[in-house]
Structure 1
Amino acid sequence: MTLPTAAFEAGRYVGSIVYVEPAVVKLNLPHGTTSVAPSYSGHRVGRGEVGEFVVIEGETQGILGRITQIRLLDGDRLTVEPARKSEAVTANPIGTVQLLLSIDLATGKISRGILEHPRIGQYAYAAHPDLVKHAVEQNGGEAARFVELAHLPQSPTTRISFPPDAIFGRHCAVLGTTGGGKSWTLARLLGEIARHRGKAILFDPSGEFRTLNERAGHVWLGGQPATADDRRFFVGFPHKHLSESDLFAMFQPSGGSQSPKLREALQSLKLLHLAPELGTDGLLIKAQQAKAPVVNKQREHAAAIREPGAAYDITKLADQIYEECVFPTGGFQNNPNPASWGGADVNGRGYCTTLVSRISVLVHSAEMAPVFAPGALADLTVVIQQFLADDRYSILRVSMEDLPFEHHTRELVANALGHHLIKLARRGAFKDKPLIVALDEAHQFLNKSIGDEFNRVRLESFGLIAKEGRKYGLHAPLATQRPRDIPEDVLSQMGMFIVHRLINEKDRQIVEQACGSLDASAASFLPILGQGEALVIGLDTPMTMPVQILRPVNPPDSTPAAIWR
Structure 2
Amino acid sequence: MTIDSFYQEINKSNFYLGMISQVYRENAYIQVENLSLLNHRNIQLEALIPNTINYFVVIDSIQGLFVGEVYQSRVNSSDSVHTAMQSGKKDNVFPEIGIEILGILNGNKLTSAGFKTVGIMDKVYVANQFLIKTFVNSIELNEYPVKNSKGEIKIDESGKIVYQNKLTNIAKLNEVDSNYLSLKPNTLFDRHLLVIGTTNSGKSTSALSVLDKLVLSGKKVLVIDPTGEYCDSFSDDEAEKLLLGENAFISTEDIDDLFWVNFFNLSDSEDSGKAAVLANAISSLRFQNSIGETGVLIKEHQSVSSLQPKINSVTSRKFDFNLLTEQIKHEAVKQKLSKEKGGYCFERDGNLYNASIWLIKKVGYFLKSSLVNDFFVTNTSDDNLFDKIDYFTSDENKKSLYINTSKVSKSGSAGASIINLITNHVLESKVSATPFVLFIDEVHRYTRVYEEDGGLVSIAREGRKKGIFLFLTTQSPKDVPKIILGQVGTFIIHRITHYEELRAIENLLQPSTLSQIRKLAQGESVITSINLLKDLHVYFEKTNRIHYNETPLL
Q: 1:331 aligns with which of 330, 335, 338?
A: 338
Matched residue, 1:47: 50
2-structure distance, mates of 1:372, 1:399: 15
1:409 aligns with 2:414: yes
Matched residue, 1:441: 442
Q: Aligned Cα RMSD in Å?
A: 3.6
1-structure distance, mates of 2:4, 2:525: 25
1-structure distance, mates of 2:49, 2:164: 32
Q: Could you tell me which amino acid in structure 2 is paired with residue 191 of structure 1? A: D
Shift of 1:7: 6.8
When residues 349 and 17 of structure 1 are mapped into structure 2, their CA distance, relative to the original with a 3 A threshold, is closer
When residues 554 and 120 of structure 1 are mapped into structure 2, their CA distance, relative to the original with a 3 A threshold, is same
Shift of 1:476: 0.6
Alignment deviations for residues 267-300 of structure 1 (CA, whole Å, 9 cap, x no partner): 1222333x316x5x43334333344554544564
Matched residue, 2:388: 383
Matched residue, 2:476: 482
Q: Is the 8 A contact 2:372 2:407 kept in 1?
A: no
1:173 aligns with 2:194: yes
Match of 2:61, SS? Answer: coil
Shift of 1:440: 1.5
Q: 2:284 aligns with which of 255, 268, 280?
A: 268
Matched residue, 2:528: 537
Matched residue, 2:517: 526
2-structure distance, mates of 1:191, 1:447: 29
When residues 10 and 256 of structure 1 are mapped into structure 2, their CA distance, relative to the original with a 3 A threshold, is closer
Q: 2:66 aligns with which of 52, 63, 66?
A: 63
2-structure distance, mates of 1:531, 1:80: 41
Matched residue, 1:321: 328
Q: Is the 8 A contact 2:420 2:456 kept in 1?
A: yes
2-structure distance, mates of 1:157, 1:415: 43
1:344 aligns with 2:348: yes
Q: Could you tell me which amino acid in structure 2 is paired with residue 321 of structure 1? A: I
Q: Is the 8 A contact 1:49 1:70 kept in 2?
A: yes
Match of 1:213, SS? Answer: coil
Alignment deviations for residues 429-463 of structure 1 (CA, whole Å, 9 cap, x no partner): xx4011211121122222347xxxxxxx8784212
Matched residue, 1:283: 296
1:502 aligns with 2:517: no
1-structure distance, mates of 2:38, 2:62: 33
Match of 1:17, SS? Answer: strand
Q: What are the within-5 Å matches in structure 2 for residues 356-435 of structure 1?
A: 356-360=360-364, 362-363=366-367, 367-372=371-376, 378-389=383-394, 394-403=399-408, 405-406=410-411, 408-425=413-430, 428=431, 431-435=432-436
Alignment deviations for residues 114-133 of structure 1 (CA, whole Å, 9 cap, x no partner): 52422324223325320221
1:471 aligns with 2:465: yes
Q: Is the 8 A contact 1:152 1:158 kept in 2?
A: yes
2-structure distance, mates of 1:56, 1:217: 53
When residues 20 and 242 of structure 1 are mapped into structure 2, their CA distance, relative to the original with a 3 A threshold, is same
Q: Is the 8 A contact 1:184 1:555 kept in 2?
A: no
2-structure distance, mates of 1:341, 1:264: 16
Match of 1:235, SS? Answer: coil
Match of 1:369, SS? Answer: coil
When residues 407 and 538 of structure 1 are mapped into structure 2, their CA distance, relative to the original with a 3 A threshold, is closer
2-structure distance, mates of 1:458, 1:388: 26
When residues 44 and 463 of structure 1 are mapped into structure 2, their CA distance, relative to the original with a 3 A threshold, is farther
1:78 aligns with 2:82: yes
Q: Could you tell me which amino acid in structure 2 is paired with residue 341 of structure 1? A: C
2-structure distance, mates of 1:156, 1:191: 23
When residues 268 and 26 of structure 1 are mapped into structure 2, their CA distance, relative to the original with a 3 A threshold, is same
Q: Is the 8 A contact 2:141 2:531 kept in 1?
A: no
Q: Could you tell me which amino acid in structure 2 is paired with residue 537 of structure 1? A: T
1:146 aligns with 2:166: yes
Shift of 1:490: 1.4
Matched residue, 1:101: 103
**Where does the alignment leave 5 or more consecutive residues of structure 2 unmatched?**
146-161
Match of 1:74, SS? Answer: coil
Matched residue, 1:122: 123
Alignment deviations for residues 521-552 of structure 1 (CA, whole Å, 9 cap, x no partner): 33333223333332222122122222333543
Shift of 1:168: 1.1
Match of 1:508, SS? Answer: helix
Q: Is the 8 A contact 2:34 2:93 kept in 1?
A: no
2-structure distance, mates of 1:422, 1:480: 22
1-structure distance, mates of 2:393, 2:216: 17
Shift of 1:263: 1.9
Q: Is the 8 A contact 1:239 1:372 kept in 2?
A: yes
Question: Quick check: 503-512 or 473-482, which moved more?
Answer: 503-512
1-structure distance, mates of 2:346, 2:383: 42
When residues 369 and 156 of structure 1 are mapped into structure 2, their CA distance, relative to the original with a 3 A threshold, is farther
Match of 1:283, SS? Answer: coil
2-structure distance, mates of 1:555, 1:91: 55
Q: Is the 8 A contact 2:72 2:98 kept in 1?
A: yes
Q: 2:230 aligns with which of 209, 227, 246?
A: 209
1-structure distance, mates of 2:423, 2:548: 25
Shift of 1:201: 1.4
2-structure distance, mates of 1:415, 1:432: 23
2-structure distance, mates of 1:292, 1:3: 91
Q: Is the 8 A contact 2:333 2:346 kept in 1?
A: yes
2-structure distance, mates of 1:480, 1:91: 48
Question: Quick check: 177-186 or 492-501, which moved more?
Answer: 177-186
TM-score by length of 1: 0.81
Q: Is the 8 A contact 1:67 1:98 kept in 2?
A: yes
Q: Could you tell me which amino acid in structure 2 is paired with residue 146 of structure 1? A: K
Q: Is the 8 A contact 2:299 2:331 kept in 1?
A: yes
2-structure distance, mates of 1:210, 1:437: 16
Match of 1:16, SS? Answer: strand
When residues 244 and 296 of structure 1 are mapped into structure 2, their CA distance, relative to the original with a 3 A threshold, is closer
**Where does the alignment leave 5 or more consecutive residues of structure 1 unmatched?**
223-232, 450-456
Report sequence identity in percent: 20
Q: Is the 8 A contact 1:176 1:501 kept in 2?
A: yes
Match of 1:282, SS? Answer: coil
Matched residue, 2:260: 247
Q: 1:558 aligns with which of 539, 549, 553?
A: 549
When residues 314 and 108 of structure 1 are mapped into structure 2, their CA distance, relative to the original with a 3 A threshold, is closer
1-structure distance, mates of 2:494, 2:264: 39
When residues 416 and 287 of structure 1 are mapped into structure 2, their CA distance, relative to the original with a 3 A threshold, is same
When residues 353 and 506 of structure 1 are mapped into structure 2, their CA distance, relative to the original with a 3 A threshold, is closer
Q: Could you tell me which amino acid in structure 2 is paired with residue 151 of structure 1? A: K
Question: Quick check: 369-378 or 106-115, which moved more?
Answer: 369-378
2-structure distance, mates of 1:530, 1:111: 31
Match of 1:432, SS? Answer: coil
When residues 22 and 353 of structure 1 are mapped into structure 2, their CA distance, relative to the original with a 3 A threshold, is closer
1-structure distance, mates of 2:475, 2:517: 13
Shift of 1:56: 0.9
Corresponding residue pairs, total: 524
Alignment deviations for residues 89-109 of structure 1 (CA, whole Å, 9 cap, x no partner): 6543211111222222x4645
1-structure distance, mates of 2:255, 2:3: 56
